Amino acid sequence: MIERVSSSPVRDLLALIDRPEVISFAGGLPAPELFDLDGLRAAFHQALCEPVGRRNLQYAPTEGNPELRALVAARMTGRGLPTTAADLLITTGSQQALTLVVTALLGPGAVVAVEEPTYLAALQCFRMAGARVVPVAGDEHGMIPEALEEVVRTERPTLLYLVPTFANPTGRTLPAERRAAIAALATAHDLWVVEDDPYGELRYRGSPIPALAIGAPDHVIHLGSFSKIGAPGLRLGWLRAPAALLRTLVIVKQAADLHTSTIDQAAAAIYLAATDLDAHVESLRTAYRARRDAMIAALPSTTPPGATWTDPDGGMFVWVTLPGGVDTAVLLSDALAHDVAYVPGAAFHATTPDHATLRLSFTTNTPEVITTGLARLAPVLRG
């Protein structure tokens, strides 16, 4: 295991951005000023009052708080993915859900198919399990089903990992037809699919697209999270899986941490029951939409001619590709000297890094600060 776990020069560089003068587009963080501090404080207060407070500080069943599971199930059903409390396991963030799925499904040498680029910490998780990660070709609309079919035939993956909606790091969204085609392939080839969906509610344009899980209910493990619509410090996520696999995942979670924090789950259940979460999410959408717009508006004057970038319908990220043979990891120290930060794109690639790419997050800065930060980045990227 030790040899499969390493730090990276980029991580070491990004550790330097904790200076207040740096405008950071690096972290994939929700905006802290938009956390519902009053609502969450009230929920925690109530969760710690007599008589429920004592139960909420006790050990609890691995599956999770029954009220929270019912509330999450109702929300998922309302968003178009019919779900009951019994379909759900509450997890310590969706990151833990990924670990549980990997532990349950992947032996050493197993093959995992992914989009390229994809979520860095998912790649880490697959690699630590000793899995072989195989990229599937995609385009500006995400994974190409025909390319997946080829990979399924030649590599026989056990698992496909996808962030179909507002992906990290690209911001791309997989269209409905491709979801249906991938769901059909999963069913035909008995392929497990992880549909990782932490960003789906953060839509700033267009209409929701049905979840992949609808097309292949027996093969899709759908992951959700409170991190981007609530607050990530709560470490609350959930997974929806077919019944037999769910039973295994409950046992794996029991071995991992017995259960997710009882008090956090209780507070979240009280919060969800008492709050108009739709209204809160709408206020996030309004703020983030303006931040995305500011970033997209500034990119033509930030980047050199020939650069391209995604214009996401939602989520937190814009993915930039620079022309020529530049290495954005090398440019990062220059950017930090200009008091601005981003994440170089290479590490998001499973196999063949594209060094001319970078990820910009637009959520944690106001439109004015985004404009200032990108003006600082312009001389770095334009040379």
According to DSSP, the residues that pair with 136 across neighbouring strands are 115
Residue 262 touching ligand PMP (CB under 6 A): no
Within 10 A of 132 (CB to CB), how many other CB atoms are there? 16
Minimum distance of ligand PMP from residue 97's CB (angstroms) = 8
Query: Angle formed by the axes of helices 262-274 and 66-78, to 10°?
Result: 50
DSSP notation for 318-347: EEEE-STT--HHHHHHHHHHTTEE-EESGG
Residue 345 touching ligand PMP (CB under 6 A): no
Find the binding residues for ligand PMP in span 128-187 (CB under 6 A).
Answer: 163, 168
Which segment (40-48, 88-96, 123-131, 338-346) binds ligand PMP by CB under 6 A? 88-96
Which segment (54-62, 92-100, 128-136, 213-221) binds ligand PMP by CB under 6 A? 92-100
Nearer Cβ to ligand PMP, position 171 or 380?
171
Strands of the chain, DSSP E:
23-24, 88-91, 111-115, 132-136, 138-139, 142-143, 159-162, 192-196, 220-225, 237-240, 308-309, 317-321, 340-341, 343-344, 357-361
Nearer Cβ to ligand PMP, position 94 or 302?
94
Residue 56 touching ligand PMP (CB under 6 A): no
Which segment (49-57, 93-101, 135-143, 145-153) binds ligand PMP by CB under 6 A? 93-101
Residue 115 touching ligand PMP (CB under 6 A): no
292 neighbors 312 (Cβ within 8 angstroms): yes
Candidate list 95, 99, 361, 363; residue touching ligand PMP; CB under 6 A: 95
Minimum distance of ligand PMP from residue 300's CB (angstroms) = 27
Nearer Cβ to ligand PMP, position 298 or 345?
345
Find the binding residues for ligand PMP in span 198-227 (CB under 6 A).
Answer: 198, 225, 227
| Torsion, Cα of 181, 183, 184, 186 (10° steps) | 120
Within 10 A of 42 (CB to CB), how many other CB atoms are there? 16
What lies within 8 Å, CB to CB, of 51 at 6+ separation is none
Whether residue 51 is preceded by a cis peptide bond, meaning omega within 30 degrees of 0, is yes
Residue 237 touching ligand PMP (CB under 6 A): yes
Residue 196 touching ligand PMP (CB under 6 A): yes
Residue 93 touching ligand PMP (CB under 6 A): yes
Q: How many residues sit in the footprint of ligand PMP (CB under 6 A)?
A: 13
Helix, coil or strand: residue 249:
helix
Minimum distance of ligand PMP from residue 239's CB (angstroms) = 11
Query: What's the CA gap between 159 and 123, in Å, rounded?
Result: 13
Nearer Cβ to ligand PMP, position 83 or 363?
363
369 neighbors 291 (Cβ within 8 angstroms): no
Query: What's the CA gap between 183 and 359, in Å, rounded?
Result: 29
Candidate list 14, 17, 24, 28; residue touching ligand PMP; CB under 6 A: 28
Chain residues in the site for ligand PMP (CB under 6 A): 28, 93-95, 119, 163, 168, 196, 198, 225, 227, 232, 237
